[in-house]
Amino acid sequence: MGELREGAGLARACAWMWIALTLLFFAGCTEDDESLCGEFPLTEAERVCIQDKVEARVVRFYPFVGDKEGVSLRKFSHQLREIDLGADDLQFLEDLQRVLATLQDGHTQIGLPAGEPRGMPPLALRDIGEEVFVAWSGVEGVEAGDQIVGVDGELVADTIEELLPLIAASTPEARRRSAVRALLSGPRSEAVGVRFLRDGESRELLLERLEVVQAVPRSPEGRRFGDVGYIRVSSFAFVDDAEVFDGLLGELRDTRALILDLRENGGGRGLNPNLLLGRFIEEELPDFELQKRDGEVKARLKAIPRGEPYRGRLVVLSDVFTYSAANYLVHRVRFHDLGVVIGERSGGGSAQRIQVELVDGLPFIYSRRRLVDPEGVDFEQGLEPDIAIELTPQDLREGLGIRSGDPATDGVLAEALRLIEEDL
């Protein structure tokens, strides 16, 4: 790969790469196209080939034309052709991702070529309003609830503004939180300077970036809180998700309410949500449809009863990363009035995605068909919860800022249990 830029510029250029690894997608397929544009390092002709392939697919298939304010395919094509073909590979890919992000579609982005090892300090960050706080800390002297006000000599707000244009997301909330999560990301060979604020006093620490071990998607997990059941479905990645879910539901079928936790579920196999839905219904539900941009129906998504339905109250937890197939499940629950949704606006992603290889190690993922309910409405830009729960800095200081599945440390779950106890 070509010569890489150094310092903060490189961190900004690569931040979206780490973000891309946090997402799964609504199950689609890999396009059968073996004609790669070339290999790294890229020649100018290979970069033009990449532009051609990206433009052809977006212009032909992008399913949300006219639905998103500020998105124009004409403008997209113009910006794509304005990319500097003489820049190094990393700059070219950054510019390409920046143009793709203008489509405001979390499914449409390029993948991650191998590069310099990335890392982060052992901190979990959370945005609350316009501010950024520590939700969990593995750094001595840094506590949950500490506010982060600066990174490498820049104000947090300025660094976030630099990151946002690189992030492909379907909602502004998901875009911002992705930027917050990438705030301290960078080369492991470089420490990051972070300015913290606590009780009106600020201090700056130089923190080592450690290797980030990407979390492997997990099968559904369940537990019981008295007469309330809890099942966390972190992804829809596995063929046997429904089988595991059925086993957990069988153990919890005597509960008066069930919490289905879809927070940070980035999607996966589109069939899995329908299989889960089958355990909460007594008759077949009206189909949702995958449609082309012109409205032609290409597939129907069916929800059919599977066995004895759960009889208790269904409560679904969502957040800004409840995306794609998980967003679809939230849409189903809301549309058919199957339960109550609690938490945050979901992350959207109401489309089928397709993947094509541009060069070896550089996949391009794009939306091809939009998913609509029986009234023809998609929720590409997420669904508002029935009951919103917003964490506060005080919640973080009390150690309640982690999605742990334990109400002692998971403030959203604790509030959901309280609301169930009060009959919502």
Distance CA(296)–CA(303), nearest Å, equals 21
pLDDT of 308 > 50? The answer is: yes
- Tokens representing 422 are 């009060």
- Enumerate residues 6+ apart whose C-beta is below 8 A from 272: 236, 238, 241, 242, 325
pLDDT of 3 > 60? The answer is: no
What's the pLDDT score for residue 422?
94
pLDDT of 329 > 80? The answer is: yes
DSSP label of 296: -
How many residues can be counted in the chain?
Answer: 424
| Number of other CB atoms surrounding residue 136 within 10 Å | 18
The partner residues of 155 in beta bridges, in order of sequence, read 150
Distance CA(145)–CA(125), nearest Å, equals 10
- Enumerate residues 6+ apart whose C-beta is below 8 A from 423: none
DSSP label of 72: -
Which residue is listed with tokens 């992603």? Answer: 349
Is 365 within 8 Å of 355 (Cβ atoms)?
yes
What's the pLDDT score for residue 190?
95
Domains of the chain in start order, with CATH, are 7-110 (no CATH), 118-211 (2.30.42.10), 221-350+371-421 (3.90.226.10)
Give Dmax (Cα) for the chain. 65
Calculate mean pLDDT across residues 40-52: 96
In tens, the pLDDT along 236-294 reads: 988 899 999 999 999 999 999 999 999 999 999 888 999 999 999 999 999 999 999 99
pLDDT of 19 > 60? The answer is: no
Which residue is listed with tokens 């998901």? Answer: 174
In tens, the pLDDT along 120-140 reads: 999 999 999 999 999 999 999
Q: In degrees rounded to 5, what are phi and psi of residue 221?
A: -130, 145
Distance CA(136)–CA(166), nearest Å, equals 26
pLDDT of 352 > 50? The answer is: yes
pLDDT band per the 50, 70, 90 thresholds, residue 32: low
- Tokens representing 305 are 């009863």
- Sign of the Cα torsion 184, 188, 192, 198 reads positive
- Enumerate residues 6+ apart whose C-beta is below 8 A from 53: 37, 356, 358, 364
Q: For the chain, give the mean pLDDT.
A: 91
CA proximity to 49, closest of 355, 356, 352, 353: 356
CA proximity to 322, closest of 236, 254, 238: 236
What's the pLDDT score for residue 215?
73
Q: Where are the beta strands (DSSP E) in 221-271?
A: 221-225, 228-232, 257-261
Q: Where are the beta strands (DSSP E) in 108-165?
A: 109-110, 118-120, 123-128, 131-137, 147-151, 154-155
What's the pLDDT score for residue 223?
97
Please tell me whether residue 95 adopts helix, strand or coil conformation: helix
Which residue is listed with tokens 């309410």? Answer: 257
User: Which has more confidence, 239 or 374?
Assistant: 374
- Tokens representing 263 are 């927070």
Strands 154-155 and 186-187: unpaired
What's the pLDDT score for residue 25?
43
**Identity of residue 338:** L
Is residue 282 packed enough to be buried (19+ CB in 10 Å), middle (13-18) or exposed (0-12)?
Answer: exposed
HSE (CB half, 13 Å, CA atoms) of 100? Answer: 30
pTM assigned to the model: 0.92
